[in-house]
């Protein structure tokens, strides 16, 4: 029996035994008591906008109102933790945006498909999560971005959103300019759960809620590769509901178009790996499976009771290419008040030339810059 019939049988069995939620209602047992989705923000990414507070670069104004949050999960998928997080999101009838890493998506393609089948939005987070893209040449950093998109789209087997988050929030002008050229929206964060460092679920709940309250909502960063996050999410969602927070769900007006050469290269590698595993047939048939899988949840949700939709069509900001190096700041912007000491040095205002030199020096060594998030916290984001 080949892989296709095995999977069809599994899906059928799951539907019969009720393992998979057949309708949105079943996925959302009591909408009245759940967190839900209060608003959908549909973003037209073609101008390469940048959203969120943690950045020094020109960004879009905050689109979230008081007590509105966007739930985001990075670095996955990792089924062991992604799955319980999906169950919790379903239980509270709410949606999130996932920024997936190419190598992880290639390792767990079915999990990527399941995240999308449950109505969540899929973005990316580079091919192999280098801690600081600014430490790479612009060419290598751009390849990391494009390869990540191609790999996640391939694993999803369907179009994904042109949404990207820099690992370690290590953005730079040439890379933002590249995203602009490619019609990709970049998302930094407003609220850091710090689940990368907090192992205790109860401490993670306390920290996250305190930060969400402090910022009065915002784009919240979690990682669906963490045990503490999987354990804490149900309580965090219940707490957000109790405190009157509302979830805003992001979606894209357009789909991302991966570079065909990269898709072909990754596909060839995948086939070779499959062939090596002695599974010659599988690859060609896999693709046909997706239409059977994907449309179930999404369309039902929308047909039933779509929340209010806000469409954002930002205009392009000027991004300085700076001759192929990562010039850091076209002009410095204060980081969100909650986390910085406010003592932002702004050499750029003084002498443009030496400011660029300064900026390049600072870009190569974020520790020189007190406002540099990755410098201040470091580690894997
Ligand atoms: Zn990350």
CA of 126 from ligand 1 middle (Å) equals 9
- Give 68's strand partners: 217, 246
From start to end of the chain, where are the E strands?
Answer: 39-43, 50-51, 68-74, 97-100, 121-124, 163-164, 185-187, 191-192, 217-223, 246-252, 308-312
Domain residue spans in the chain?
Answer: 18-375
How many Å apart are CA 68 and CA 38, to the nearest integer?
A: 9
CA of 19 from ligand 1 middle (Å) equals 31
CA of 328 from ligand 1 middle (Å) equals 20
CA of 129 from ligand 1 middle (Å) equals 6
Give the DSSP letter of residue 307.
Answer: P
Contact (Cβ atoms closer than 8 angstroms) between residue 127 and residue 102: yes
CA of 381 from ligand 1 middle (Å) equals 4
CA of 375 from ligand 1 middle (Å) equals 15
CA of 320 from ligand 1 middle (Å) equals 25
CA of 73 from ligand 1 middle (Å) equals 9
Per-residue pLDDT in tens (0 to 9) along the chain, 381 residues: 565 565 555 545 554 444 444 445 555 777 777 899 999 999 999 999 999 999 999 999 999 999 999 999 999 999 999 999 999 999 999 999 999 999 999 999 999 999 999 999 999 999 999 999 999 999 999 999 999 999 999 999 999 999 999 999 999 999 999 999 999 999 999 999 999 999 999 999 999 999 999 999 999 999 999 999 999 999 999 999 999 999 999 999 999 999 999 999 999 998 888 888 876 655 555 444 444 333 334 444 444 467 888 888 888 887 765 554 444 444 444 444 444 444 444 444 444 445 555 555 544 444 444 444 444 444 445
CA of 305 from ligand 1 middle (Å) equals 33
Name the superfamily (CATH) of residues 18-375.
Answer: Glycoside hydrolase/deacetylase (3.20.20.370)
How many Å apart are CA 207 and CA 102, to the nearest integer?
A: 29
CA of 128 from ligand 1 middle (Å) equals 10
């Amino acid at each position: 029996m080949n892989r296709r019939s095995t999977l069809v049988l599994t899906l059928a069995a799951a539907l019969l035994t009720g393992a998979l939620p057949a309708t949105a209602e079943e996925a959302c047992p009591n909408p009245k008591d759940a967190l839900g989705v209060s608003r959908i923000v549909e973003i037209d990414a073609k101008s390469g906008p940048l959203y969120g507070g943690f950045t020094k670069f020109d960004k879009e104004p905050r689109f979230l109102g008081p007590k509105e949050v966007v739930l985001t999960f990075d670095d996955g998928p990792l089924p062991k933790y992604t799955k319980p997080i999906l169950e919790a999101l379903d239980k509270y009838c709410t949606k999130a945006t996932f920024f997936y890493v190419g190598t992880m998506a290639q390792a767990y393609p079915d999990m990527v498909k399941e995240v999308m089948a449950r109505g969540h939005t899929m973005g990316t987070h580079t091919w192999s999560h280098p801690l600081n893209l600014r430490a790479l040449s612009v060419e290598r950093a751009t390849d990391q971005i494009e390869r990540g998109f191609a790999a996640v789209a391939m694993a999803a087997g369907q179009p994904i959103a042109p949404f990207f988050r820099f690992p370690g929030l290590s953005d730079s002008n040439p890379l933002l300019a590249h995203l602009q050229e490619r019609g990709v929206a970049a998302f930094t964060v407003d609220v850091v759960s710090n689940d990368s460092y907090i192992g205790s679920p109860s401490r993670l709940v306390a920290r996250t809620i305190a930060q969400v309250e402090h910022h009065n909502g915002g784009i919240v960063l979690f990682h669906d590769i963490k045990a503490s996050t999987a354990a804490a999410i149900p309580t965090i969602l219940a707490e957000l509901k109790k405190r009157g927070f509302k979830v805003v769900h992001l979606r894209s007006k357009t789909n991302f178009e991966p570079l065909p050469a990269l898709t072909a290269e990754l596909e060839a590698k995948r086939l070779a790996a499959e062939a090596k595993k002695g599974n010659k047939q599988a690859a060609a048939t896999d693709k046909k499976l997706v239409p059977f899988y994907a449309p179930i949840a999404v369309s039902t949700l929308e047909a039933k009771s779509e929340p209010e939709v806000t469409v954002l069509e930002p205009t392009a900001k000027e991004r300085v290419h700076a001759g192929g190096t990562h010039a850091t700041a076209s002009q410095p912007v204060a980081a969100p008040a909650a986390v910085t000491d406010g003592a932002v040095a702004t050499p750029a205002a003084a002498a443009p030339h030496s400011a660029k030199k300064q900026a390049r020096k600072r870009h190569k060594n974020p520790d020189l810059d007190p406002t540099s998030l990755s410098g201040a916290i470091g580690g894997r984001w």
